[in-house]
Structure 1
Amino acid sequence: MNSAGSTSCSTRLTARVYGWRARADTNLAGPRRRTPVTPADLHRAVSALVEPQLVRPLGELGFVGGVDESSGHPVVELVLPVTNWPHLDALRAAISALAPGAEVRVRTMDDEGRLTLRNYLRGSMAAGGSGDGHGHDAAPAPRFLARDATTRVLGISSGKGGVGKSSVSLNLAIALAAQGYGVGLLDADVYGFSLPKMLGAASDPIVLGDIVIPTLVHGVRCLSMGYFVDDDQPVIWRGPMLHKAIGQLVTEAWWDEPDFLVVDMPPGTGDVALTLSEVVPRVEMYVVTTPQAAAQRVAQRSALAARKLKLAVRGVIENMSWFTGDDGVRYRIFGEGGGASLAASLGVPLLGAIPLEPLLREGGDVGEPVVVAAPETEAARAFVELATRIAAQGPARVYRQELRLV
């Protein structure tokens, strides 16, 4: 596991820090903030800044060591779990905005500090709010998995590989985050992980004991097996190991309580769907297909398998629907009607049709998703519309079996 690398971050983070819900007073560099006049004032102001990775005030996290002016200018000490904390540059800029000329020094937490932070996060995961710093032996289920949680878990599935499911998952997640939602992205394709490279993440997740802090990029928290193994190293696991790994990625990661957790499913109808149905009972399935009839038939099997596991199938997404040439004509390279036919057979809506564009493929290869790198393109606009429709659907209704009338 590599230590977290540096990640560029906007120096002006508003109350919706990277799309994640936060308290109303959490601007990292609020334009109206009064310049502190004493070390105590500066200490309070720095402690109130929200850390973008964890979306909690620096003071609550134990990240503020102190403020000293004995050298003639303010020196703010930050105490971080790792020296190269991903958003350190943003924190430096925010502190400079509070006190121009202030020096920021970084000290790495000792073992006791890391344990305290771990306990705080563990308590926060269970409570859905502030942690209490206790209970380091307990490992309660994350708040977003509770029956009354508001998080929607979106499983993006397909019956076969090669239909662009990962591209859909990635760009959908970023489009949701751009609309102000808190979004997590889980790469559940343990054997064929691809999201780290496609996302362009410059830092690895951070491990604190038994808690993993997902990497944060483009407003999305992302976790993948690809962060923990070399690119050319295959994962060769039997079912029980796969089950355990998926369970850990879901329950031992700092997802906080997002509005959406997008899960990039592996192709087919194997162990991952079974595991997710047990770990996250509220998974809503969205089936990706191409217009091709053969792909549509295979995708239908994936949807029917999800229904056998009592997972709600919410809609169909057609990818590679057409290619628009320089002449403005749409060419249906993979045929036409596969998505609409699949949606009709399943009794669910066709939620989106994504065109085939070179920038969509190129962005995945170089870590520049099309909704970020080329928002004006037809494909990017299609993903924004898709995100809007999925958000407007609202959560799937879940009926308790014991209350069913027979």
Structure 2
Amino acid sequence: MMITNQQVLEALKHVQDPELHKSVVELNMVRNIRIDGTRVQLEVVLTIQGCPLKAKIQQDIEEALRGIGASDVALTFGAMTAEERAALTQSLKKEATTDTGMPKMLRPESGVTFIAVTSGKGGVGKSTVTINLAAALARMGKRVGILDADIYGFSVPAMMQIREKPTMIDQTAVPPVSHGVKVMSMGFFAPENNVVMWRGPMLNKWIRNFLVNTHWGDLDYLLLDLPPGTGDVAIDVAAMIPQAKEIIVTTPHNVASFVATRAGAMAMHTKHDIVGVVENMSYYEDKDGNKTYLFGKGGGDTLAAQLKTQVVARVPFAQPEENVGAAVYDEDSPIGEVFTSLAEDLIYSR
């Protein structure tokens, strides 16, 4: 039996680059195929040198070729030239943007649901809500990304325990994945947690960059963790993503909910649909089921009434033994269940 070039390419069409999620054939990574009976020699040109997922690519290629009867597979690795990488970036960008340079995911027919998570003030657990809702949606099989747009107070990478930076292919960033969620954050680019000191136009540019220059692939949901309050970023996101829906996070404390009214008023002003209010740190429940309301009661309800919406979730304080050190709660923990139910509501109300 003799294996043909065509058979090799056909088999390798099903092998994906683990980061770009495209076929190694489509990405022109397969070169110099030599066939001797059932022995196959080939070179795989990686998008970046020292690709951490080289072993995975090798294993997938060997399996695919054994599947068509190869008795021996000899693989060598090379790296794309700077020109080839630039060309790949251009083609990825072309795929992601329209002729006017607008991100395709922002078009109404893109099928992406944008959810902006906002709050009136810091410290109410907005990022906790973002990452746990994202993880719950991902557990239900949805393709989810988080854009950590809290450019000054980025905390998502640390909370999701992401140690690696995005892979850069020329100008395109391939986001790291944690808990099944793709994550992009200023935290990956600010050296050693340095404070970012920027104003309006610069911020707008960064958020647009994060949308355009990130290889998000196909998404069902993109959650935006916005800075607290009603500053430049909130205004820019409203202008850039008018179809975004908003979740407003508060605590039961009436001061927090009073301040959150401004974020809600902003959402109404920018014509964003409000999904509802999430009341975080609602209560502490002990082993016997007794609830203690550490921050009082009623903040979420007051806010929802003012914004003519409803409280869509009440998130309790974590039990001491829950998820020590991690901010994403297991799906069978009390907090995990709250987010599962919120994710279900979102999916079925689309």
Residue number among 223, 229, 233 corresponding to 1:262 in the alignment:
223
Contact 2:277 2:309 in 1 (8 A): yes
Q: Tell me by how many angstroms 1:99 deviates.
A: 4.4
**Alignment-derived partner of residue 28 in structure 2:** 62
**Matches of 1:336 and 1:90, distance apart in 2:** 52
**Alignment-derived partner of residue 15 in structure 1:** none
Q: Which runs of 5+ in 1 are unaligned?
A: 1-35, 128-137, 395-406
Q: Secondary structure at the match of 2:26?
A: helix
**Matches of 1:356 and 1:278, distance apart in 2:** 35
**Alignment-derived partner of residue 90 in structure 2:** 119
Superposition CA RMSD, Å: 2.5
Q: Secondary structure at the match of 2:191?
A: coil
**Alignment-derived partner of residue 175 in structure 2:** 214
**Matches of 1:382 and 1:77, distance apart in 2:** 50
**Matches of 2:59 and 2:343, distance apart in 1:** 32
Contact 1:290 1:296 in 2 (8 A): yes
**Alignment-derived partner of residue 326 in structure 2:** 363
Q: Secondary structure at the match of 1:157?
A: strand
* Mapping of residues 131-146 of structure 1, within 5 Å: 140-146=101-107
Q: Tell me by how many angstroms 1:226 deviates.
A: 0.6
* Mapping of residues 24-39 of structure 1, within 5 Å: none
Contact 1:186 1:263 in 2 (8 A): yes
Q: Which moved more, 1:86-95 or 1:333-342?
A: 86-95
**Matches of 1:71 and 1:217, distance apart in 2:** 43
* Mapping of residues 72-151 of structure 1, within 5 Å: 74-99=40-65, 102=73, 104-126=75-97, 140-151=101-112
Q: Tell me by how many angstroms 1:69 deviates.
A: 5.6
Residue number among 238, 252, 271 corresponding to 1:277 in the alignment:
238
**Matches of 2:73 and 2:295, distance apart in 1:** 59
Q: Secondary structure at the match of 2:25?
A: helix
Q: Deviations over 1:218-251 (max 9, x none)?
A: 2222111111112331111122222221221123
Q: Tell me by how many angstroms 1:272 deviates.
A: 0.4
Residue number among 195, 198, 202 corresponding to 1:234 in the alignment:
195
Q: Secondary structure at the match of 1:375?
A: coil
**Matches of 1:139 and 1:70, distance apart in 2:** 49
Contact 2:331 2:340 in 1 (8 A): no
Task: Sort the Cα spacing of 1:308 and 1:82 in 2 relative to 1 into closer, same or farther, 3 A.
Answer: same
Task: Sort the Cα spacing of 1:83 and 1:303 in 2 relative to 1 into closer, same or farther, 3 A.
Answer: same
Q: Tell me by how many angstroms 1:116 deviates.
A: 2.4
Contact 2:97 2:212 in 1 (8 A): no
**Alignment-derived partner of residue 69 in structure 2:** none
- Residue 349 (str. 1) matches residue 318 (str. 2): no
**Matches of 1:306 and 1:252, distance apart in 2:** 27
**Matches of 1:86 and 1:92, distance apart in 2:** 12
**Matches of 1:93 and 1:331, distance apart in 2:** 54
Amino acid at match of 1:119: Q
Residue number among 330, 337, 342 corresponding to 1:381 in the alignment:
337
**Alignment-derived partner of residue 23 in structure 1:** none
Amino acid at match of 1:54: L
Residue number among 337, 346, 350 corresponding to 1:390 in the alignment:
346
Q: Tell me by how many angstroms 1:286 deviates.
A: 0.6
Residue number among 132, 147, 150 corresponding to 1:189 in the alignment:
150
How many equivalent residue pairs?
342
Q: Secondary structure at the match of 2:13?
A: helix
Q: Secondary structure at the match of 2:19?
A: coil
Contact 1:212 1:254 in 2 (8 A): yes
Structure 1 runs, 4 residues or longer, greater than 6 Å off: none
Q: Which moved more, 1:376-385 or 1:80-89?
A: 80-89
Amino acid at match of 1:363: A
**Matches of 1:108 and 1:66, distance apart in 2:** 14
Task: Sort the Cα spacing of 1:84 and 1:288 in 2 relative to 1 into closer, same or farther, 3 A.
Answer: farther
Amino acid at match of 1:188: A
Q: Secondary structure at the match of 1:185?
A: strand
Q: Secondary structure at the match of 1:59?
A: coil
**Matches of 2:243 and 2:173, distance apart in 1:** 23
**Alignment-derived partner of residue 268 in structure 2:** 307
Q: Which moved more, 1:334-343 or 1:165-174?
A: 334-343
Q: Tell me by how many angstroms 1:183 deviates.
A: 1.2
Contact 1:39 1:74 in 2 (8 A): no
Q: Which runs of 5+ in 2 are unaligned?
A: 67-71
Amino acid at match of 1:333: L
- Residue 49 (str. 1) matches residue 15 (str. 2): yes
**Matches of 1:92 and 1:202, distance apart in 2:** 24
Q: Deviations over 1:162-189 (max 9, x none)?
A: 1111111111112112212121110001
Q: Tell me by how many angstroms 1:343 deviates.
A: 1.8
Task: Sort the Cα spacing of 1:195 and 1:46 in 2 relative to 1 into closer, same or farther, 3 A.
Answer: same
